[in-house]
Structure 1
């Protein structure tokens, strides 16, 4: 007769053996030629890999160029605080549909803060001379909101009649309201560039008005201010299919860091991938998740070259640059409290340190300001020393708050455009790119498949877009692997 102690020992031994066999089977799978190599461990790459795994395709390998997962969702330490260099908001909350990122954020209980922009009219500063009268700023905000509404109605009409796309700026001209004064340009920048990171003259009307993110998921925005970082949502997805140790760290051999892909050779029989360190990997298929900016660069050499239709589709899209500059001060000299979180600076040069946010709610007592620049200003600032940027910023702050304010003690200037692994922050729909070009952007080339926020027709540029794009791209590949159904349909132009 077996006693309870012996039963317990047998059960423990079986449990240990099960864990060992699990690790052995994963290692054994990793030792084989993978079915799919996923390039990039940002949100879209991880989402695609999880979708493949959930479909039973577990013989995968993820190659990540950097030393971390998360991609353009990236926390860093700034003056003792954990701040987000890239994606910072959950955008699209409170609507009829649940934003999947908001659902994850709540599951892992990330600390978030509702962003209230209602009092911007009370906090809009002249280039020199203090605040604009609230009534003046609010009147202009309301006036330009009417232009936004006109643009949305025009976009809907053009789409319904299958008319050619136009720019947001063209819609403004049709309404005879092209911003020209410093105040008009500041509010226009707040309405458009702050969201798309590019100006209205290059931004598609039909693909951005109305914006599906807010139309479908709701108009609320929540700022992530958690020491664990926004990248926790990527880890949350990854840990659903990658093995971890007892401390919750990902130890799965199917994820390799510091593996920058520099060459992809593809043929009807499979793919061969070379990395910067000289390693060579083979697979049946590859799923590419790098940004559209990287695809537009020479980082990855395709052998043979991608076909002309694919190159054209890739280069028709824009890779925008959105730069959040953090500044720390010895003490607070700006207004604080309810209704003061966001403020604008109206300068004769459009986009010159226009959008400001004081972070007292998010980081109490930290004395930190955040200023956002985009597009050409981002690129200009990336190419100069931080000391020059700090001097420019201090000039703007002194114009707003007086000459006697203290000097910033710390400054953080992210450089997404200069980074060869990103080449920007997110994609923007330019004029004329339709469903046809979108289908071509995400269409596979032989055994090379594509994903990323830029392949999300409705949600490009957003974290939820990256997540949903990973699922969509994997679901294009899965029937090919399982059933040999590898045909991808590109809808004819104009349909």
Structure 2
């Protein structure tokens, strides 16, 4: 292990907190190896806590935004706090316990079981009116049978991923290609609504069956806590970062509004440069930015990452999942048991398809949520909110009549356009498996990688981000404590 290097601060003056952070890294010789964690989302915070628990406390966390939590983010809307990013604890009541479920219960997080069982009675026609229950249920039953056949086929494939096919290809093997409006919205609900990309590009082998539900259980719970879902991240951070009595993080090892633009890496250490001209040196760096950021030009690696690493990063998809909130002067939609989720079957696949009301979660708020993904997300991000509201209102009037009130407010997240995210979560494409997973999380010299996209089984989920941070930190801890820094990437067709 190379000796730690003193942080270079330049000739300009810096705030006291920044000088304190510089002092922390300059004390590396006494405190042990220095590590910079880039990104304070759940993976970055989870990785930093794991390092701290292992006695590696000479840390500096550089976060590009003014907050921690990343894609777990509450925002004020219509007098309540809503989640513009992650919103569910997914995978509950199974044989294994989802670690996020444990954290949520420990914190008393306000959450509600999401029951989708009655969609067959809540699916609306594009031209107006509602489909008969029996008609929709027949489509759902057929889709379930096709998916079950796809699961059997998936389980027969070699673990290497070489025989993997798309979900759509598996459907074609069963002579089932959703094309009518009703078939498409059911197909969208089953796949796009979960993976944010259509079946034609989504891996069969990595999603059918889906490890999250197979391991942790099929139940999902919607988080509707005014403290925000992000308190699970804050709680983790508070366990190793200094805070005030009010829970405000004041630890100088966390630096907000620090946009990393360059990572230079050598045999002896790393140098990180931020957009404001600050320069930091350390022994190691853990990069926890999103896959979308890695695929963009926001951060320059010097020297450039090796081809195998770039290929692993570029062949994965950064999907876009957009939750649009609409506020109304009063509720006009059906309420009560079995009405919370409803579908709109358009001939244009993915056009404002999945809706949700909050009569239980946010009583009296009169708020609806509609979810769009992929190309519709990108299209909507590029148009004014007024046009999006107009489109959504046209859909709602088709469902509930022309006399419904106009929405008074709208919230349209723009994850794809945000240079600090470039999307919402990763989707594993066709043909990738353990080999590519090993490559995407594999270190490059003294640069380590983490994030939900490095989770072999739980990419795209909050628990995937949390567990990935722990896993990646443990790889670095092994390197630091044993001197064994070799990371093995087995051959593509290796059996084990």
TM-score w.r.t. the length of structure 2 is 0.94
C-alpha separation in 1, matches of 2:192 and 2:289: 23
Tell me what 1:32 maps to.
27
Tell me what 1:225 maps to.
224
Equivalences for residues 335-350 of structure 1 within 5 A? 335-350=334-349
Residue 371 (structure 2) pairs with residue 372 (structure 1): yes
C-alpha separation in 2, matches of 1:407 and 1:261: 43
Residues 160 and 492, structure 2, Cα contact 8 Å, conserved in 1: no
C-alpha separation in 2, matches of 1:158 and 1:123: 37
Tell me what 1:83 maps to.
82
Tell me what 1:470 maps to.
469
Larger Rg: 1
Cα distance change, pair 401–58 in 1 and its aligned pair in 2 (3 A)? same
C-alpha separation in 1, matches of 2:395 and 2:369: 13
Residue 170 (structure 2) pairs with residue 171 (structure 1): yes
Deviation at 1:79, TM superposition (A): 1.2
* Gap regions ≥5 residues in structure 2: 1-18
| Count of residue pairs the alignment pairs up | 472
Tell me what 1:292 maps to.
291
Equivalences for residues 22-171 of structure 1 within 5 A? 29-33=24-28, 35-159=34-158, 164-171=163-170
Q: Secondary structure at the match of 1:489?
A: coil
Tell me what 2:5 maps to.
none
Deviation at 1:129, TM superposition (A): 2.5
Equivalences for residues 249-268 of structure 1 within 5 A? 249-268=248-267
Deviation at 1:243, TM superposition (A): 1.1
Write out the 4+ residue segments of structure 1 that deviate beyond 6 Å after TM superposition.
Answer: 24-27
Cα distance change, pair 398–26 in 1 and its aligned pair in 2 (3 A)? closer
Residues 160 and 493, structure 2, Cα contact 8 Å, conserved in 1: no
Q: Secondary structure at the match of 1:192?
A: helix
Tell me what 2:480 maps to.
481
Residues 146 and 171, structure 2, Cα contact 8 Å, conserved in 1: yes
C-alpha separation in 2, matches of 1:344 and 1:303: 49
Tell me what 2:453 maps to.
454
Cα distance change, pair 160–468 in 1 and its aligned pair in 2 (3 A)? closer
Residues 94 and 217, structure 1, Cα contact 8 Å, conserved in 2: yes
C-alpha separation in 2, matches of 1:25 and 1:344: 54
Tell me what 2:417 maps to.
418
Deviation at 1:434, TM superposition (A): 1.7
Tell me what 1:271 maps to.
270
C-alpha separation in 1, matches of 2:20 and 2:185: 58
More off after superposition, 317-326 vs 154-163: 154-163
C-alpha separation in 1, matches of 2:161 and 2:111: 41
Cα distance change, pair 161–256 in 1 and its aligned pair in 2 (3 A)? closer
